Structure 1
Amino acid sequence: MADAHIIVSGSKRPFWQIFIASLIFTFAAVLLLWIIYNTFLRPEIYLTSIISSRVVIYLIAIGTFFSFRKSVYIDLGQSRFRSTFEIGPVKLGQWKTIHSYEYVSVFHQPLKNGDRIFEINLWYDTNKHWELYEKNNAKEAFEIGYEISEYLQIDLLDATVPNDFRFIDKSLLRQKINGEIS
């Protein structure tokens, strides 16, 4: 188990989002090539090129929104982890070393519109934490928290009720996740 790597990954984007992102990225690339080509051939349209460059930046931002996903990598062998934002093969994120894992917690944050977002945190090194993930669904948040706590062989804390935190009996949670009990 010491050389194990854990990857908790966001769900894949729907095909329509990937399709839209690819169209947007293609249009941004064509526009960028047009800007470069025309800037060297016709310097008098330099101002138009600057304005078009802003459009390219906006298109890339929109394309990124439609195609990124978040993943968490935990390297048990070297006792480190990282959160990444991924766009295709590009992964942005830095490794962080952990000296002692303590527990995983799941809690919720209320949103302005009345909904809640559930956060999964890894607590380590005497009261430090790393936000691993956010989910809109409590069941999915607890499933991710459970999986991480099982791999790391640490406890799972239910902190969804303010001032009433409790460690979860993971054997009961496993049965619920597997549909053995309701």
Structure 2
Amino acid sequence: MYKKDVIISQGSRTLLENIIAAACYTIALFCIYQIVIALEHVVGYAYIGTTSVMLGLRFSISKNYRFNFKANRFRDMSAIGLIEWGDWIKYDELNYVAVFLNAKDFYEVNLWYDENRRFNLSNYAELDDALMGAKEITQLLALDLYDAGTDPYNGRWEEVQVK
């Protein structure tokens, strides 16, 4: 018997993030209009427009992960509104979820699969938030949790009750 497919979602963006993204896209459209109509200060408007689009993408893209256990694959998806894109990645076995402190002082939650392959599910500024997020993911996927964030030199396996 197969487990049901699981979707892990970052969730929708906040109202403030949506307003900032809309403002950035509006500035980018204004810059395109000025480039096409006025033909003055083309380089400056192109720079501001490109920067606005990139900043708008930063505030509007959300991340989702979809696991298809029947086909042994998962999909790392990015979405803007209803538009989604991402690649399916085949795996033989999901091993565990790990939390550790990276070089930029953020706690990473990684999914390890096929013995030595991994990808980053999320980043957190606080250890408690990272462990709570990792525990929710391990419960959804019925995996073990390795905590290397509390003590990086002496990692430990956490007991997580599967729902």
Q: TM-score, normalised by structure 1?
A: 0.75
Deviation, structure 1 residue 37: 4.1
Count of equivalent residues = 162
| Matching residue within 159, 167, 174 for 2:157 | 167
Secondary structure of 1:22 counterpart:
helix
Deviation, structure 1 residue 11: 4.6
Question: What is the identity percentage for the equivalent residue pairs of Structure 1 and Structure 2?
Answer: 26
Secondary structure of 2:106 counterpart:
strand
Q: Which one-letter code corresponds to 1:106 in the other structure? A: V
Deviation, structure 1 residue 159: 1.4
Which is worse superposed, 8-17 or 162-171? 8-17
Aligned match of 2:70: 77
Q: Find runs of 4+ consecutive structure 1 residues off by over 6 angstroms.
A: none
Cα pair distance change 1:5/1:143, threshold 3 Å: farther
**CA distance in 2 between partners of 1:142 and 1:56 (Å):** 39
- TM-align CA RMSD: 2.5
**CA distance in 1 between partners of 2:90 and 2:143 (Å):** 17
Secondary structure of 1:35 counterpart:
helix
Q: Which has the larger radius of gyration?
A: 1
Q: Given that residues 22 and 56 in structure 2 are in contact (C-alpha distance below 8 angstroms), is that contact kept between their aligned partners in structure 1?
A: yes
Aligned match of 2:46: 53
Aligned match of 1:22: 22
Cα pair distance change 1:132/1:86, threshold 3 Å: same
Cα pair distance change 1:20/1:128, threshold 3 Å: closer
Over residues 63-115 of structure 1, what are the superposed CA-to-partner deviations in whole Å (9 max), with x where a residue is unaligned?
A: 1222223222222222212333333233343221111111111112253xxxx
Deviation, structure 1 residue 26: 1.8
Q: Which one-letter code corresponds to 2:20 in the other structure? A: I
Q: Given that residues 101 and 152 in structure 2 are in contact (C-alpha distance below 8 angstroms), is that contact kept between their aligned partners in structure 1?
A: no
Deviation, structure 1 residue 156: 1.1
Higher helix share: 1
| Matching residue within 129, 138, 149 for 2:118 | 129
Over residues 4-41 of structure 1, what are the superposed CA-to-partner deviations in whole Å (9 max), with x where a residue is unaligned?
A: 33222225433122112112212212331342345xxx
Aligned match of 2:147: 158
- For structure 1, the 5+ residue unaligned runs are 39-44, 175-182
Q: Given that residues 8 and 144 in structure 1 are in contact (C-alpha distance below 8 angstroms), is that contact kept between their aligned partners in structure 2?
A: no
Cα pair distance change 1:107/1:24, threshold 3 Å: same
| Matching residue within 131, 139, 153 for 2:128 | 139
- For structure 2, the 5+ residue unaligned runs are none
Q: Which one-letter code corresponds to 1:129 in the other structure? A: R
2:21 pairs with 1:31: no
Secondary structure of 2:41 counterpart:
helix
**CA distance in 1 between partners of 2:106 and 2:60 (Å):** 21
Equivalences for 1:88-107 in 2 at 5 Å?
88-107=81-100
